Structure 1
Amino acid sequence: MRKNKTVAAWLAFLGGPLGLHRFYLHGLGDLPGWLLPIPTALGLYGIQRMQQLGQDDQLSWVLIPLLGFTIAGCALKAILYGLATPERWNALHNPSAAPDAAPGRTGWPTIFAIAAALMVGAAVLMASLAYSFQHYFEYQIEEARKISQ
Protein backbone atom coordinates (compact mmCIF):
# COMPACT_ATOMS: atom_id res chain seq x y z
CA MET A 1 0.00 0.00 0.00
CA ARG A 2 1.37 3.41 -0.94
CA LYS A 3 1.76 5.99 1.80
CA ASN A 4 0.30 9.39 1.04
CA LYS A 5 2.21 12.45 2.24
CA THR A 6 -0.94 14.49 2.86
CA VAL A 7 -2.55 11.75 4.96
CA ALA A 8 0.66 11.36 6.98
CA ALA A 9 0.88 15.12 7.59
CA TRP A 10 -2.73 15.35 8.80
CA LEU A 11 -2.32 12.25 10.97
CA ALA A 12 0.83 13.70 12.54
CA PHE A 13 -0.94 16.99 13.21
CA LEU A 14 -4.28 15.66 14.48
CA GLY A 15 -3.37 12.26 15.90
CA GLY A 16 0.36 12.55 16.43
CA PRO A 17 0.26 12.48 20.23
CA LEU A 18 -1.41 9.08 19.91
CA GLY A 19 1.14 7.82 17.38
CA LEU A 20 -1.32 7.55 14.48
CA HIS A 21 1.15 8.86 11.88
CA ARG A 22 3.75 6.31 13.02
CA PHE A 23 1.26 3.45 12.70
CA TYR A 24 0.21 4.67 9.26
CA LEU A 25 3.79 4.82 7.98
CA HIS A 26 5.46 1.95 9.85
CA GLY A 27 2.65 -0.40 10.91
CA LEU A 28 1.36 -1.47 14.30
CA GLY A 29 4.73 -2.93 15.31
CA ASP A 30 6.31 0.52 15.54
CA LEU A 31 7.69 1.04 19.07
CA PRO A 32 7.86 4.88 18.96
CA GLY A 33 4.21 4.86 17.89
CA TRP A 34 3.32 2.90 21.01
CA LEU A 35 5.48 5.14 23.22
CA LEU A 36 4.01 8.47 22.03
CA PRO A 37 0.78 8.17 24.07
CA ILE A 38 2.79 7.96 27.31
CA PRO A 39 3.85 11.64 27.52
CA THR A 40 0.41 12.57 26.19
CA ALA A 41 -1.30 10.68 29.00
CA LEU A 42 1.12 12.06 31.59
CA GLY A 43 0.42 15.61 30.40
CA LEU A 44 -3.33 15.04 30.59
CA TYR A 45 -2.83 13.65 34.10
CA GLY A 46 -0.91 16.83 34.98
CA ILE A 47 -3.83 18.95 33.78
CA GLN A 48 -6.19 16.86 35.89
CA ARG A 49 -3.93 17.25 38.95
CA MET A 50 -3.77 21.00 38.49
CA GLN A 51 -7.57 21.22 38.26
CA GLN A 52 -7.92 19.20 41.46
CA LEU A 53 -4.99 20.49 43.52
CA GLY A 54 -4.49 23.99 42.13
CA GLN A 55 -1.56 25.70 40.49
CA ASP A 56 0.79 25.08 43.41
CA ASP A 57 1.09 21.36 42.58
CA GLN A 58 4.72 20.94 41.56
CA LEU A 59 4.22 17.58 39.83
CA SER A 60 1.74 19.17 37.43
CA TRP A 61 4.40 21.75 36.57
CA VAL A 62 6.50 18.92 35.19
CA LEU A 63 3.73 16.85 33.61
CA ILE A 64 1.75 19.51 31.75
CA PRO A 65 4.65 20.61 29.50
CA LEU A 66 5.08 16.97 28.41
CA LEU A 67 1.74 17.23 26.63
CA GLY A 68 2.66 20.55 25.04
CA PHE A 69 6.05 19.37 23.85
CA THR A 70 4.53 16.18 22.43
CA ILE A 71 1.92 18.16 20.51
CA ALA A 72 4.56 20.61 19.26
CA GLY A 73 6.88 17.77 18.21
CA CYS A 74 4.10 16.07 16.28
CA ALA A 75 3.22 19.37 14.61
CA LEU A 76 6.87 19.69 13.58
CA LYS A 77 6.74 16.17 12.15
CA ALA A 78 3.62 17.13 10.16
CA ILE A 79 5.49 20.12 8.75
CA LEU A 80 8.47 17.95 7.81
CA TYR A 81 6.21 15.40 6.12
CA GLY A 82 4.43 18.12 4.18
CA LEU A 83 7.62 19.83 3.05
CA ALA A 84 9.30 16.63 1.84
CA THR A 85 9.91 16.58 -1.88
CA PRO A 86 7.96 13.97 -3.84
CA GLU A 87 11.22 12.22 -4.75
CA ARG A 88 12.34 11.98 -1.12
CA TRP A 89 8.89 10.97 0.15
CA ASN A 90 8.47 8.23 -2.43
CA ALA A 91 12.02 6.99 -1.91
CA LEU A 92 11.41 6.63 1.83
CA HIS A 93 7.81 5.45 1.97
CA ASN A 94 6.97 4.20 -1.54
CA PRO A 95 10.21 2.71 -2.86
CA SER A 96 8.50 0.74 -5.63
CA ALA A 97 6.75 3.85 -6.99
CA ALA A 98 8.13 6.33 -9.49
CA PRO A 99 10.00 9.26 -7.88
CA ASP A 100 7.24 11.70 -8.87
CA ALA A 101 4.29 9.39 -8.04
CA ALA A 102 1.08 11.01 -6.80
CA PRO A 103 1.31 9.93 -3.11
CA GLY A 104 4.38 12.14 -2.65
CA ARG A 105 3.02 15.24 -4.34
CA THR A 106 2.08 18.41 -2.51
CA GLY A 107 -1.41 19.82 -2.99
CA TRP A 108 -3.61 22.32 -1.20
CA PRO A 109 -4.65 19.85 1.52
CA THR A 110 -0.96 19.31 2.30
CA ILE A 111 -0.34 23.04 2.44
CA PHE A 112 -3.30 23.49 4.82
CA ALA A 113 -1.86 20.74 7.04
CA ILE A 114 1.51 22.51 7.08
CA ALA A 115 -0.07 25.88 7.90
CA ALA A 116 -2.29 24.46 10.65
CA ALA A 117 0.59 22.51 12.17
CA LEU A 118 2.80 25.60 12.10
CA MET A 119 0.22 27.81 13.82
CA VAL A 120 -0.91 25.33 16.46
CA GLY A 121 2.52 23.82 17.05
CA ALA A 122 4.18 27.19 17.59
CA ALA A 123 1.39 28.36 19.90
CA VAL A 124 1.48 25.18 21.99
CA LEU A 125 5.28 25.26 22.19
CA MET A 126 5.32 28.89 23.33
CA ALA A 127 2.55 28.25 25.88
CA SER A 128 4.39 25.21 27.25
CA LEU A 129 7.63 27.13 27.60
CA ALA A 130 5.90 30.09 29.23
CA TYR A 131 4.06 27.83 31.68
CA SER A 132 7.24 25.94 32.57
CA PHE A 133 9.40 29.02 33.06
CA GLN A 134 6.75 30.93 34.99
CA HIS A 135 6.31 28.16 37.53
CA TYR A 136 10.02 27.48 37.74
CA PHE A 137 10.83 31.12 38.52
CA GLU A 138 7.93 31.42 40.97
CA TYR A 139 9.32 28.38 42.77
CA GLN A 140 12.81 29.90 42.81
CA ILE A 141 11.50 33.17 44.24
CA GLU A 142 9.57 31.33 46.94
CA GLU A 143 12.65 29.32 47.90
CA ALA A 144 14.75 32.51 48.02
CA ARG A 145 12.19 34.08 50.35
CA LYS A 146 12.43 31.05 52.64
CA ILE A 147 16.23 31.33 52.75
CA SER A 148 16.21 35.09 53.41
CA GLN A 149 13.85 34.83 56.38
Structure 2
Amino acid sequence: MKNKTIAAWLAFLGGPLGLHRFYLKGLGDTLGWLLPIPTALGVWGLERVQLYGLDDTLSWILVPLLGFNIAGCALCAIVFGLMTPEKWNARYNPSAAPEAAAGRTHWGTIGAVALALLVGTGVLMASLVYSFQRYFEYQIAEAQKISQ
Protein backbone atom coordinates (compact mmCIF):
# COMPACT_ATOMS: atom_id res chain seq x y z
CA MET A 1 0.00 0.00 0.00
CA LYS A 2 1.40 3.37 -1.06
CA ASN A 3 0.56 6.00 1.54
CA LYS A 4 -0.39 9.47 0.25
CA THR A 5 1.08 11.29 3.25
CA ILE A 6 4.43 9.52 2.97
CA ALA A 7 4.56 10.24 -0.77
CA ALA A 8 3.80 13.94 -0.17
CA TRP A 9 6.54 14.25 2.46
CA LEU A 10 9.03 12.36 0.29
CA ALA A 11 8.25 14.63 -2.66
CA PHE A 12 8.72 17.71 -0.49
CA LEU A 13 11.83 16.66 1.44
CA GLY A 14 13.54 14.20 -0.89
CA GLY A 15 12.01 15.04 -4.23
CA PRO A 16 15.14 16.55 -5.79
CA LEU A 17 16.79 13.17 -5.19
CA GLY A 18 13.86 11.23 -6.68
CA LEU A 19 12.80 9.57 -3.42
CA HIS A 20 9.07 10.01 -4.03
CA ARG A 21 9.36 8.41 -7.47
CA PHE A 22 11.27 5.44 -6.06
CA TYR A 23 8.62 5.05 -3.34
CA LEU A 24 5.74 5.11 -5.82
CA LYS A 25 7.22 3.41 -8.91
CA GLY A 26 10.19 1.42 -7.63
CA LEU A 27 13.91 1.61 -8.31
CA GLY A 28 13.40 1.04 -12.03
CA ASP A 29 11.92 4.52 -12.53
CA THR A 30 14.08 6.41 -15.03
CA LEU A 31 12.90 9.88 -14.04
CA GLY A 32 13.70 9.09 -10.42
CA TRP A 33 17.31 8.40 -11.42
CA LEU A 34 17.47 11.57 -13.55
CA LEU A 35 16.17 13.97 -10.88
CA PRO A 36 19.48 14.16 -8.96
CA ILE A 37 21.29 15.47 -12.06
CA PRO A 38 19.77 18.99 -12.09
CA THR A 39 20.00 18.99 -8.30
CA ALA A 40 23.74 18.31 -8.42
CA LEU A 41 24.24 20.88 -11.18
CA GLY A 42 22.38 23.47 -9.10
CA VAL A 43 24.52 22.74 -6.06
CA TRP A 44 27.59 23.10 -8.28
CA GLY A 45 26.20 26.47 -9.38
CA LEU A 46 25.91 27.55 -5.74
CA GLU A 47 29.52 26.53 -5.18
CA ARG A 48 30.56 28.55 -8.25
CA VAL A 49 28.79 31.59 -6.82
CA GLN A 50 30.75 31.19 -3.60
CA LEU A 51 34.04 30.74 -5.45
CA TYR A 52 33.70 33.25 -8.29
CA GLY A 53 31.04 35.64 -7.05
CA LEU A 54 27.77 36.68 -8.58
CA ASP A 55 29.33 37.62 -11.91
CA ASP A 56 29.90 33.99 -12.91
CA THR A 57 27.85 33.47 -16.06
CA LEU A 58 27.59 29.69 -15.72
CA SER A 59 25.99 30.03 -12.30
CA TRP A 60 23.10 31.98 -13.90
CA ILE A 61 22.09 28.75 -15.59
CA LEU A 62 23.01 26.26 -12.88
CA VAL A 63 21.48 27.86 -9.77
CA PRO A 64 17.96 28.11 -11.23
CA LEU A 65 18.11 24.40 -12.12
CA LEU A 66 18.20 23.61 -8.42
CA GLY A 67 15.41 26.05 -7.66
CA PHE A 68 13.14 24.81 -10.43
CA ASN A 69 13.78 21.22 -9.40
CA ILE A 70 12.88 21.96 -5.77
CA ALA A 71 9.79 23.91 -6.85
CA GLY A 72 8.68 21.11 -9.18
CA CYS A 73 9.01 18.54 -6.42
CA ALA A 74 7.07 20.80 -4.07
CA LEU A 75 4.35 20.92 -6.71
CA CYS A 76 4.33 17.11 -6.80
CA ALA A 77 3.86 17.09 -3.03
CA ILE A 78 0.91 19.47 -3.39
CA VAL A 79 -0.66 17.34 -6.13
CA PHE A 80 -0.21 14.18 -4.08
CA GLY A 81 -1.67 15.79 -0.97
CA LEU A 82 -4.72 17.20 -2.74
CA MET A 83 -5.54 14.01 -4.66
CA THR A 84 -8.82 12.39 -3.63
CA PRO A 85 -8.58 9.03 -1.86
CA GLU A 86 -10.43 7.34 -4.71
CA LYS A 87 -8.04 8.67 -7.34
CA TRP A 88 -4.97 7.96 -5.18
CA ASN A 89 -5.97 4.37 -4.50
CA ALA A 90 -6.97 3.79 -8.13
CA ARG A 91 -3.57 4.99 -9.34
CA TYR A 92 -1.15 3.72 -6.67
CA ASN A 93 -3.13 1.01 -4.83
CA PRO A 94 -5.26 -0.57 -7.57
CA SER A 95 -6.01 -3.73 -5.57
CA ALA A 96 -7.30 -1.75 -2.57
CA ALA A 97 -10.78 -0.41 -1.96
CA PRO A 98 -11.40 3.16 -3.23
CA GLU A 99 -11.68 4.46 0.34
CA ALA A 100 -8.65 2.58 1.73
CA ALA A 101 -6.78 4.31 4.55
CA ALA A 102 -3.59 4.76 2.52
CA GLY A 103 -5.26 7.37 0.32
CA ARG A 104 -6.89 9.39 3.06
CA THR A 105 -5.89 12.92 3.96
CA HIS A 106 -5.06 13.86 7.55
CA TRP A 107 -3.09 16.57 9.34
CA GLY A 108 0.27 15.16 8.29
CA THR A 109 -0.77 15.42 4.66
CA ILE A 110 -2.03 18.97 5.14
CA GLY A 111 1.28 19.92 6.79
CA ALA A 112 3.22 18.58 3.81
CA VAL A 113 1.01 20.49 1.39
CA ALA A 114 1.26 23.75 3.36
CA LEU A 115 5.04 23.58 3.70
CA ALA A 116 5.46 22.56 0.06
CA LEU A 117 3.36 25.53 -1.00
CA LEU A 118 5.34 27.91 1.20
CA VAL A 119 8.82 26.67 0.37
CA GLY A 120 8.15 25.80 -3.27
CA THR A 121 6.76 29.25 -4.04
CA GLY A 122 9.62 30.98 -2.25
CA VAL A 123 12.29 28.94 -4.01
CA LEU A 124 10.63 29.40 -7.41
CA MET A 125 10.41 33.18 -6.99
CA ALA A 126 13.99 33.40 -5.72
CA SER A 127 15.25 31.38 -8.70
CA LEU A 128 13.40 33.57 -11.17
CA VAL A 129 14.60 36.77 -9.53
CA TYR A 130 18.22 35.61 -9.43
CA SER A 131 18.36 34.47 -13.04
CA PHE A 132 16.51 37.49 -14.47
CA GLN A 133 18.50 39.98 -12.41
CA ARG A 134 21.80 38.49 -13.50
CA TYR A 135 20.67 38.35 -17.12
CA PHE A 136 19.56 41.99 -17.20
CA GLU A 137 22.72 43.17 -15.44
CA TYR A 138 24.72 41.30 -18.09
CA GLN A 139 22.70 42.98 -20.85
CA ILE A 140 23.28 46.41 -19.36
CA ALA A 141 27.04 45.77 -19.10
CA GLU A 142 27.16 44.63 -22.74
CA ALA A 143 25.17 47.66 -23.86
CA GLN A 144 27.61 49.94 -22.02
CA LYS A 145 30.51 48.25 -23.81
CA ILE A 146 28.86 48.81 -27.18
CA SER A 147 28.06 52.47 -26.46
CA GLN A 148 31.67 53.31 -25.55
**1:90 alignment counterpart:** 89
1:48 alignment counterpart: 47
* Counterpart code for 2:91: L
Q: Which runs of 4+ in 1 moved over 3 A?
A: none
Distance (whole Å) between structure 2 residues aligned to residue 127 and residue 51 of structure 1 = 17
What runs of 5+ residues in structure 2 fail to find an aligned partner? Answer: none
The letter for the 1-side match of 2:143 is A
* Alpha-carbon offset, residue 76 of structure 1: 0.2
Count of residue correspondences: 148
Cα distance, 1:113 vs. partner?
0.3
Q: Which residue matches 1:112?
A: 111
Alignment-derived partner of residue 8 in structure 2 = 9
> What percent of counterpart residues are identical?
74
Aligned letter for 1:133? F
- 1:29 match: secondary structure: coil
* Secondary structure of 2:54's aligned partner: coil
**Counterpart in 1 of 2:70?**
71
Scaled by the length of structure 1, the TM-score of the pair is 0.99
Partner Cα distance (1:17, 1:148) in 2 = 43
Superposed displacement of residue 25, structure 1: 0.1
How far is 1:37 from its partner? Answer: 0.2
CA RMSD of aligned residues (A): 0.3
State the TM-score, normalized to the length of structure 2: 0.99
> For 1:25 and 1:57, how far apart are their aligned partners in 2?
38
